[in-house]
């Protein structure tokens, strides 16, 4: 069975990472999750309105397909990685290139399939690190400028997407990383986040990025 919108809406994380079809994963995320602006209201006094910008170019990093996590890719250009994942780089190819990558990042494959539910705040918890960012507990969040996290518990694991401000913007956030069972979130404060609008990233912005 292929991955479609209903799969993303109802996915419970109960799948072996070794059984995930990479090309189908990328295609379904591109079709239903990426290239969108997600608009939210929150009850945080400093950020009553927030936007998450999620683009195709974020997908490789969230899968751990970067220079720091997979050591034998012929390219680390996000656009080229996406193209190759759709047209030939299957899971076997990625594992053969760097076996440690799969051992360390296999749960991120599941996490990426949960992105639809995370960004739509579907049975998720939303947290902010702003309450600890200037303490020793929040050192990592401060270093990475991670101010908010959306967390989903499923299949006995916790998947959290970390959000950092986009450069030059005070209310637009981008996914910084995808964590599994991150103990740092335990001291973060819970907030309310309500999605009220989803819109495509404008084509002119995509063109500027591709130059």
Asked if residue 97 lies in contact with residue 52, where contact means CB atoms within 8 angstroms, the answer is no
77: in domain: yes
Average pLDDT across the chain, whole number: 92
pLDDT value at residue 211: 38
107: in domain: yes
pLDDT value at residue 81: 94
16: in domain: no
pLDDT at 206 over 80: no
What's the gap between Cα 50 and its chain centre?
16
Q: Which residues contact 187 (CB under 8 A, 6 or more apart)?
A: 131, 132, 137, 138
pLDDT value at residue 202: 86
pLDDT at 108 over 50: yes
Q: Which domain holds residue 62?
A: 21-199
pLDDT value at residue 118: 98
**What total number of domains does the chain contain?**
1
Whole-prediction pTM: 0.92
* pLDDT average, residue stretch 9-25: 95
């Amino acid at each position: 069975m292929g991955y479609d919108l209903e799969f993303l809406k109802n996915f419970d994380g109960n799948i072996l990472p070794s059984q995930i079809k990479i090309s189908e994963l990328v295609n379904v995320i591109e079709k239903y999750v990426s290239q969108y602006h997600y608009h939210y209201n929150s009850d945080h006094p400093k950020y009553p309105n927030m936007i998450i910008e999620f683009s195709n170019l974020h997908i490789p990093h969230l899968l751990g397909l970067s220079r720091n996590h997979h050591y034998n890719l012929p390219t680390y250009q996000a656009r080229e990685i996406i193209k190759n994942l759709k047209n030939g780089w299957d899971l076997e190819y990625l594992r053969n290139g760097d076996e440690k990558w799969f051992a360390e990042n296999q749960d991120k494959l599941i996490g990426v399939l949960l992105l639809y539910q995370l960004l739509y705040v579907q049975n998720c918890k939303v947290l902010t690190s702003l309450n600890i960012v200037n303490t020793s507990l929040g050192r990592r969040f401060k270093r990475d400028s991670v101010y908010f996290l959306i967390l989903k518990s499923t299949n006995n694991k916790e998947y959290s997407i970390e959000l950092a401000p986009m450069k030059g913007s005070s209310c637009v956030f981008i996914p910084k990383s995808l964590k599994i069972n991150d103990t740092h979130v335990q001291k973060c404060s819970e907030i309310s986040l309500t999605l009220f609008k989803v819109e495509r990233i404008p084509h002119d912005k995509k063109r500027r990025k591709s130059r």
